[in-house]
Structure 1
């Protein structure tokens, strides 16, 4: 199972992901990085066929400047992802003897960033459609997306868009931890990227540990408040 999620904050955007890749054809899972930089001012993550996502990664690395400088970033993302999807659809051999149910060449791509004082979140679906989620402020892709959306809804009363990316990192990590508890195929290590007017920053393992400490303090504070209300 894969989950990649993004949330808008007052001063930026936060992306997070798990690291578990499921290979249904071989009946195995393994860790892999799912968040990647998109130039210096954005980041992206993907869910689906790894061959497609590897091509997307190479394309984005080579064309990040053109994408981020485009007047319509969503259309620019679409313009680079569509040829990759078409190539894999055209060359995919569906009926391989002895490997029934080995997967498909479809993939979802979600990118987010901050430009001219405004956040942006776009998704490119396997059919090439552009999903706009900036105004919604929260989005997730991958097979774990429904659970992530539910967890995000349960935290929505904290009003992510009115808080800093420091809070956003804690909220995203808390969602990932909830999914880790409820799904055996979502697991650590988790990845976090925060994007502000100063650019994109991929958090190190030590920084994620610091965010984890904030989450624990947050949960402890909730327990104290609940005890006082219902005592």
Structure 2
């Protein structure tokens, strides 16, 4: 699981850095996009109830039960028509969590309406302002069949997608966060480890360039 560190505020027209990727117990991680106030409240809940969420019979329902009341509270307090405010400013928030529950992988999101999405079969999901481009980048890498490879390949692919978005989207920016998740543990990478993964991304690109150089030979 990976994320950038740039928060975009379309109402004020500014961007600023923030931590988006968080631990969810020992075997999972979560991130969110949207209202920072909503995500702050969820972070307190998830930190206190991580084990109950991950060990629940249905992780999606466990997340939904905690996310929806927070969304409802903020939506009730949302003032839609503010004099001088920009139209279309809503407190929409996505939550995405991935990890292992009872030894089985899960990739679950809760959308701004409180609906549950399961993405274990595709092995990929993206939320946030860059998500359409991330989905496109994933489709462009589909021929590498990442879901059939080890998690280390997934780590490299995730960083390659984020770096590509960093160069093409003003709403995406580093530093990049990575959490390598296995049934044994979810390990959050430090700056040096991210740099090491980026070296592998560069090697991957070099190998592709050599392959295409031989395409017509």
Classify the TM-score, shorter chain: over 0.9
Matched with 1:7 is none
1-side partners of 2:50 and 2:145: how far apart? 31
Matched with 1:45 is 31
Matched with 1:16 is 2
Matched with 1:27 is 13
The partner residue of 1:195 within 169, 177, 181 is 181
**Root mean square deviation of aligned Cα:** 1.2
Question: Residues 22 and 29 of structure 1 are in contact (CA less than 8 Å); yes or no, is this contact kept in structure 2?
Answer: yes
Q: 2:215 aligned with 1:210, yes or no?
A: no
Aligned length in residues: 217
SS in 1 for 2:38: helix
2-side partners of 1:185 and 1:126: how far apart? 19
Matched with 1:11 is none
Matched with 2:162 is 176
SS in 2 for 1:218: helix
* Bigger relative contact order (CA 8 A; separation at least 6): 1
Structure 2: any 5+ residue segments left out of the alignment?
A: none
2-side partners of 1:60 and 1:76: how far apart? 11
What TM-score comes out, normalization by structure 2 length? 0.96
Structure 1: any 5+ residue segments left out of the alignment?
A: 1-14
> Between Structure 1 and Structure 2, which shows a larger proportion of strand residues?
1
The partner residue of 2:151 within 154, 165, 168 is 165
Q: CA deviation at 1:122?
A: 0.5
